Every structure is written in structure tokens, then in C-alpha cells.
């Protein structure tokens, strides 16, 4: 198989539907040592693929790669038999795109691969100590030891470098288009997966209605393992296809019918499903000296907690007075995030996903038939 690659500017690729393949390896220590243009974010390394995308300079990704979106979802606790809604968190997403032409398989006249490489950072709320790397607070209401009502406010944080800069959550994505010999074409959104570790921090604990006044150091450390993957989405556009009335602007059947609940696309958004392992908590000391680590470990920790991550379309780019794209400012909320609706013909494609519906079965149990 031969492969020819060329760089693609943002203006060309905004209309492409990209899809997932596998997670990128973590950034090296050297990459994370340099602070970027935006305080609290690291320098984003230019990915120099065969088309020499970095020919415009080493800061190409930092100047033109910020597209941004929002993310929310669900987490479940089999032990507590309850689901937890993950509120919407703004993501600063830096994406690099490529187009590769390969030899077509039998029955096709053309085969184009469109990989994308996305690196995401949580935009921290104003209550955080760090400007980037923290989700918004998540409130968990549960019962400890079978009878004690507990309300826990937690945050999920990205791993950080020795220089206290967040390490990006990274994802490879891939879309494929194959032109049919008789006309028309097939588009495939390939599955994507993510493997990472995060830090789960406890910000506040209320036990039986009483605030325990934690001293602010309660956490798991960056060892909460997340593993999630998406599905495959494929559609064929026949040679005589035209968008149905009211769907003008759709370039293909896939764009018109794409469902973010079924797959994960770099530009169109999507859903990943998997598990989150929450290890034991440590340093959960109150101002009076009580150690709540065992209580919180009993209430929150455990392996194989189901998780659903909904990621919006990359359509929330901001620009400075020099025309460079930039990440959302620290403290930006989903209400503040300004996004452009590129896909009005498909209401399922959103930059700000709707809240994930709560399943009608408990975590760890089979859905009712």
C-alpha cells in the first residue's frame, strides 16, 4: 500500500467528518517542560507527519490548532447502585489534521484516510487552584456503611508535569472515504479508544448534614485509570444522492445521519463508553484532625465503575487580534462558550452535548429487556 500525505489547514478541514483509532502516547517530559503562550497550559508540540505540517514553524499547533468544545456524561457506582451525572466541562482542544491517499481496495477507485490528532485540557472553574486541568465540581450523594447519608463534592483532574502543567488527554482519530467504481462513496468512522489515569480530588464532604471541613488535600493521586472506547459508524452515499428537502448543506449521507451516541469523531463529536477505577483516598483530614479516608474510600472508591463520556463537535474556536486561534479563558463555563453551528441539517451534532440520560438499570446490572 502506498501512501501520500499532505498538510491541511483548518479552513479546509472544518467540514470533514473524522473518526477514532487509538490513543496517542503520553507527552514526553521534555514537551511538558515548556510553558505555552497561555498561562497554565504547556507548549503543544507540532506533530510532524509526512506532509511536513510543521513547515510553518514549531508553533503551528499553538497558533492555529485550538478548536475547543464541551464534554459531559455519566459515571456509575455498582457498589452504591447509583448513577452520577457528570456536568458539562469546557475543553480546550488542540487538533492537528492530515489527509492521506492510499491504494484503493477492489471495487473502489479512491481511498482517502483523514487522521486527526487531538489534545484536550479541562478548562478549570474559578474555584480551582489551577487555570487548566480540572473539571467543574461533581456532587455525589450516597450512603456510607449502609445508613449514613453522605454528600461528596469531587473534581477530576488531569495528570501534571513536574513544572505543574497539565498533561493533555490525547486521542488519535481516523476517517476513511472510499469512492465506489460505479459512482458514489462510502465513509467510515472508525472506533476510537482512550487509556489514561486521572486524579480524583474531594473538595467537600457533608456527613449526615454536617460539613466536615476537609483541609483541601484529599485525593486518590493520578492513579484513577480510565479506559473507554467508541463504536464504528458507516454510511454509503449513492451517486445520484441529493440532500432531502430541509437538509441543504449536507455533503453526504454520513453527515446527515451521523449519531454521536454511536461513534466518536474529532470534528463531529461522539461518545466513549468504558470504566473508571477509583483507588483508595488519602490525606482526607478534617480541620479537627479526623481522617475520613476510610469513609470516602468505602463510599466512592472501587474498580470497573461504568463511565459514559459525551464530547461535543469542535466548533468553538476563538481568535486573537492576530488571527491566531486560542483556548477558552480559565473559568469559562459552558454558557460562556461561543460555538458556531456548522451542521444545522443534523440536530444530533452539537458542540454542547445534552445531558446524558440516566439509564433505567443500576450500574453493573443488565438493561431490562
Structural domain count of the chain: 1
Tell me the residue ranges of DSSP E strands in 125-209.
138-144, 148-157, 169-180, 185-189, 193-207
Q: State how far the Cα of 79 lies from the Cα of 224, in Å rounded to an integer.
A: 17
Q: Is 340 inside any structural domain?
A: no
pLDDT of the residue at 145: 66
Q: Is 238 inside any structural domain?
A: yes
User: pLDDT tens across 120-178, in order?
Assistant: 999 999 989 899 999 999 988 877 667 788 888 989 999 999 999 999 998 888 899 99
Q: Is 332 inside any structural domain?
A: no
With a CB cutoff of 8 Å and minimum separation 6, the contacts of 98 are 5, 6, 7, 8, 49, 51, 53, 114, 115, 116
C-alpha distances out from residue 197 to 175, 184, 234, Å: 26, 43, 31
Q: State how far the Cα of 68 lies from the Cα of 45, in Å rounded to an integer.
A: 17
Q: Could you tell me the pTM of the whole model?
A: 0.85
Percent of the chain's residues with pLDDT above 70? 87
Side-chain-facing half-sphere of 49: CA atoms under 13 Å: 17
Which of 22-36, 236-250, 265-279 shows the lowest per-residue confidence on average (mean pLDDT)? Answer: 22-36
Q: State how far the Cα of 308 lies from the Cα of 49, in Å rounded to an integer.
A: 32
With a CB cutoff of 8 Å and minimum separation 6, the contacts of 275 are 226, 227, 228, 303, 304, 305, 306, 307
User: pLDDT tens across 47-93, in order?
Assistant: 766 555 676 676 778 888 899 999 999 999 887 788 999 999 999 99
Q: State how far the Cα of 25 lies from the Cα of 23, in Å rounded to an integer.
A: 6
Domain encompassing residue 145: 3-326
pLDDT of the residue at 14: 26
Most trustworthy range by pLDDT among 8-12, 31-35, 133-137: 133-137
Q: State how far the Cα of 201 lies from the Cα of 284, in Å rounded to an integer.
A: 10
Does position 20 have pLDDT exceeding 70, yes or no? no
Q: Is 286 inside any structural domain?
A: yes
Query: Average pLDDT of 232-259?
Result: 94
With a CB cutoff of 8 Å and minimum separation 6, the contacts of 308 are 73, 74, 75, 271, 272, 273, 356
Does position 334 have pLDDT exceeding 70, yes or no? yes
pLDDT of the residue at 33: 53
Does position 307 have pLDDT exceeding 60, yes or no? yes
Could you tell me if 237 and 198 are in contact, meaning their C-beta atoms sit under 8 angstroms apart?
Answer: no
pLDDT of the residue at 135: 94
Q: Is 360 inside any structural domain?
A: no
* 70 alpha-carbon distance from chain centroid: 8
Could you tell me if 306 and 363 are in contact, meaning their C-beta atoms sit under 8 angstroms apart?
Answer: yes
Task: Indicate the pLDDT class of residue 101, thresholds 50, 70 and 90.
Answer: confident
Does position 29 have pLDDT exceeding 90, yes or no? no
Q: Is 58 inside any structural domain?
A: yes
Does position 96 have pLDDT exceeding 50, yes or no? yes
Could you tell me if 316 and 68 are in contact, meaning their C-beta atoms sit under 8 angstroms apart?
Answer: yes
For 132-144, b where at least 16 C-beta lie within 10 A, e where not — what string? Answer: bbbbbbbebebeb
User: pLDDT tens across 202-222, in order?
Assistant: 999 898 899 999 987 899 999
pLDDT of the residue at 4: 40
H or E element that contains 235 = strand 233-237
Q: Is 359 inside any structural domain?
A: no
Q: What are the DSSP calls for 259-323, one per residue?
A: -TTTBEETTTEEEEEEEEEE---B--BBTTS-B-HHHHHHHH-EEEEEEEEEE--S---EE-TTS
Query: Average pLDDT of 190-212?
Result: 92
Q: State how far the Cα of 317 lies from the Cα of 313, in Å rounded to an integer.
A: 11
Average pLDDT, the chain: 84
Query: Which alpha helices (DSSP H) does the chain contain, by range?
Result: 10-13, 29-33, 60-64, 253-257, 293-300
Q: State how far the Cα of 351 lies from the Cα of 334, in Å rounded to an integer.
A: 10
Does position 337 have pLDDT exceeding 70, yes or no? yes
Which of 35-39, 109-113, 172-176, 271-275 shows the lowest per-residue confidence on average (mean pLDDT)? Answer: 35-39
Q: Is 109 inside any structural domain?
A: yes
Could you tell me if 324 and 63 are in contact, meaning their C-beta atoms sit under 8 angstroms apart?
Answer: yes
pLDDT of the residue at 132: 96
Task: Indicate the pLDDT class of residue 9, thresholds 50, 70 and 90.
Answer: very low
Q: Which long-range contacts (CB under 8 A, 24 or more apart) does 317-320 make?
A: 317/10, 317/66, 317/67, 317/68, 318/66, 318/68
Q: Which of 160, 156, 196, 191 is closest to 176 using CA atoms?
A: 191
Query: Average pLDDT of 286-294?
Result: 89
pLDDT of the residue at 27: 36
280 vs 24, more confident = 280
Does position 2 have pLDDT exceeding 50, yes or no? no
Q: Which of 267, 177, 273 is closest to 231 using CA atoms?
A: 273
Amino acid at each position: 500500500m502506498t501512501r501520500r500525505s499532505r498538510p491541511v489547514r483548518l479552513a479546509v478541514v472544518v467540514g470533514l467528518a473524522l473518526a477514532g483509532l487509538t490513543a496517542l502516547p503520553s507527552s514526553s517530559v521534555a514537551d511538558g517542560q515548556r510553558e505555552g503562550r497561555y498561562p497554565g497550559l504547556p507548549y503543544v508540540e507540532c506533530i510532524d507527519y509526512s506532509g511536513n505540517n510543521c513547515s510553518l514553524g514549531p508553533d503551528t499547533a499553538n497558533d492555529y490548532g485550538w478548536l475547543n468544545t464541551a464534554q459531559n456524561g455519566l459515571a456509575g457506582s455498582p457498589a452504591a447502585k447509583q448513577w452520577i451525572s457528570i456536568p458539562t466541562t469546557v475543553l480546550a482542544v488542540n487538533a492537528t489534521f492530515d489527509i492521506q491517499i492510499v491504494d484503493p481496495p477492489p471495487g473502489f477507485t479512491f481511498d482517502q484516510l483523514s487522521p486527526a490528532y487531538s489534545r484536550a485540557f479541562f478548562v478549570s472553574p474559578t474555584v480551582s487552584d489551577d487555570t487548566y486541568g480540572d473539571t467543574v465540581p461533581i456532587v455525589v450523594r450516597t450512603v456510607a456503611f449502609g445508613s449514613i447519608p453522605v454528600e461528596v463534592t469531587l473534581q477530576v483532574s488531569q495528570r501534571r508535569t513536574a513544572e505543574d502543567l497539565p498533561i493533555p488527554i490525547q486521542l488519535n482519530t481516523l476517517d476513511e472515504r472510499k469512492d465506489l467504481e460505479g459512482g458514489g462513496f462510502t465513509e467510515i468512522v472508525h472506533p476510537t479508544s482512550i487509556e489514561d489515569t486521572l486524579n480524583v480530588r474531594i473538595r467537600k464532604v457533608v456527613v449526615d448534614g454536617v460539613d466536615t471541613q476537609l483541609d483541601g488535600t484529599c485525593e486518590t493521586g493520578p492513579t484513577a485509570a480510565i479506559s473507554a472506547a467508541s463504536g464504528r459508524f458507516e454510511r454509503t452515499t449513492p451517486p445520484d444522492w441529493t440532500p432531502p428537502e430541509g437538509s441543504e448543506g449536507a455533503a453526504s449521507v454520513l453527515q446527515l445521519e451521523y449519531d454521536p451516541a454511536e461513534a466518536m469523531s474529532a470534528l463531529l463529536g461522539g461518545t466513549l463508553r468504558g470504566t473508571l477505577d477509583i483507588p483508595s483516598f488519602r490525606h482526607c483530614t478534617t480541620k479537627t484532625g479526623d481522617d475520613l479516608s476510610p469513609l470516602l474510600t468505602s463510599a466512592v472508591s472501587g474498580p470497573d465503575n461504568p463511565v459514559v463520556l459525551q464530547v461535543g463537535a469542535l466548533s468553538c474556536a476563538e481568535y486573537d487580534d492576530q488571527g491566531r486561534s486560542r483556548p477558552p479563558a480559565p473559568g469559562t463555563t459552558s454558557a460562556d462558550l461561543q460555538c458556531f453551528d456548522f451542521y444545522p441539517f443534523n440536530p444530533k451534532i452539537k458542540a454542547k452535548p445534552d445531558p446524558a440520560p440516566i439509564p433505567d438499570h443500576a450500574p453493573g446490572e443488565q438493561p431490562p429487556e
